[in-house]
């Protein structure tokens, strides 16, 4: 294990810095338990976004401002374990979400609040959640505007401060949802658990391509997405190859010279 590894002894949860980001090393239930007790921001950075760490200052600040990240990137996990002779397990956003919606308290009315990117996503995802035991009303869903370089959303803050859900789930694109999550963490009048799960809910609802559990376990979600929409996703995942040299060079250090 790298010397950058750390433990929280009260809960025996290990954390490991990779590229300067604090990753939780454990399973989905341990991650959920960690953030559910006192709230906080959980990010799920994928390889196509991680490779932007040296150049995207706002994205980098959002990841550093999170309470922890989970190791969603199969590429990052495999390389890290080879380079450091470590045994960090991959924990995808999809697996995390499956476990999250299995929590009894999470499924109760008013317990969760969902931020979604399109009207179609709102319709498909809300229907799926209610069919699978997660009580979500119209008041529990927010259609996100198109955020620019600076994120500021007073309407979202107002609704969250009024409703005060224990869980805020952000289902937006990588690079945006993390910045929104940090904005909420810094500006809300209370401290919920903020989960940046990206497209994970869309994989379950069918709003995007469905990814079988076995493919997710094997780290093949990228392949299913690329096959479903090669023009959109194949270049994105091919571009993630730049993460390889970044990991070789920086290991646990933030990739900023």
d(CA 125, CA 107): 14
The whole-number pLDDT of residue 232 equals 77
The answer to whether the beta carbons of residues 7 and 14 sit under 8 Å apart is yes
Q: Which pTM was predicted?
A: 0.91
Q: 30 is in which domain, residue-wise?
A: 13-250
Is 255 contained in some domain? Answer: no
Residue 17 predicted with pLDDT over 60: yes
Edge-to-edge strands, sheet with 13-18: 6-8, 13-18, 21-25, 68-70, 40-43, 193-196, 167-170, 112-116, 141-143
Which two three-digit tokens encode residue 152?
């500021």
**Residue 158: partners with Cβ closer than 8 Å, 6 or more residues away:** none
The whole-number pLDDT of residue 225 equals 76
Is 99 contained in some domain? Answer: yes
**What residues form DSSP beta bridges with 70?**
24
The three-class DSSP label of residue 70 is strand
Is 8 contained in some domain? Answer: no
Q: How confident is the model at residue 10 (pLDDT cuts 50, 70, 90)?
A: very low
Instruction: Over range 241-255, report the average pLDDT.
Output: 93
* Least confident residue range of 105-119, 139-153, 224-238: 224-238
| 132-172 residue pLDDT tens | 999 999 999 999 999 988 999 999 999 999 999 999 999 99
Is 2 contained in some domain? Answer: no
**Structural domain count, the chain:** 1
The whole-number pLDDT of residue 2 equals 52
| 167-215 residue pLDDT tens | 999 999 889 999 999 999 999 999 999 999 998 998 888 888 788 888 7
Apex CA 14: angle with CA 177 and CA 59, to 5°?
Answer: 20
């Amino acid at each position: 294990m790298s010397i950058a590894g750390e433990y929280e002894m009260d809960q025996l949860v290990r954390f490991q810095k990779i590229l300067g980001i604090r990753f939780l090393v454990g399973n989905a239930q341990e991650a959920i338990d960690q953030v559910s007790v006192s709230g906080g921001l959980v990010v799920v950075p994928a390889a196509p976004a991680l490779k932007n760490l040296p150049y995207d200052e706002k994205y980098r600040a959002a990841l550093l401002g999170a309470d922890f990240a989970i190791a969603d990137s199969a590429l990052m996990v495999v390389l890290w374990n080879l380079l450091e002779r470590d045994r960090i397990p991959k924990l995808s956003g999809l697996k995390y979400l499956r476990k999250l919606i299995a929590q009894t308290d999470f499924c109760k009315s008013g317990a969760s609040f969902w931020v979604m990117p399109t009207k179609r996503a709102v319709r498909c995802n809300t229907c799926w959640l209610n069919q699978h035991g997660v009580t979500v009303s119209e008041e529990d869903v927010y259609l996100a505007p198109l955020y620019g370089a600076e994120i500021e959303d007073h309407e979202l803050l107002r609704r969250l401060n009024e409703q005060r859900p224990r869980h805020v789930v952000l289902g937006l694109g990588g690079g945006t949802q993390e910045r929104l999550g940090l904005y909420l963490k810094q500006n809300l009048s209370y401290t919920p658990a903020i989960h940046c799960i990206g497209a994970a809910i869309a994989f379950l609802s069918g709003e995007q391509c469905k990814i079988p559990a076995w493919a997710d376990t094997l780290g093949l979600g990228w392949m299913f997405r690329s096959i479903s929409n090669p023009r959109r996703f194949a270049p994105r995942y091919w571009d993630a190859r730049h993460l390889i040299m970044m990991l070789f060079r920086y290991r646990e250090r933030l990739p900023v010279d």
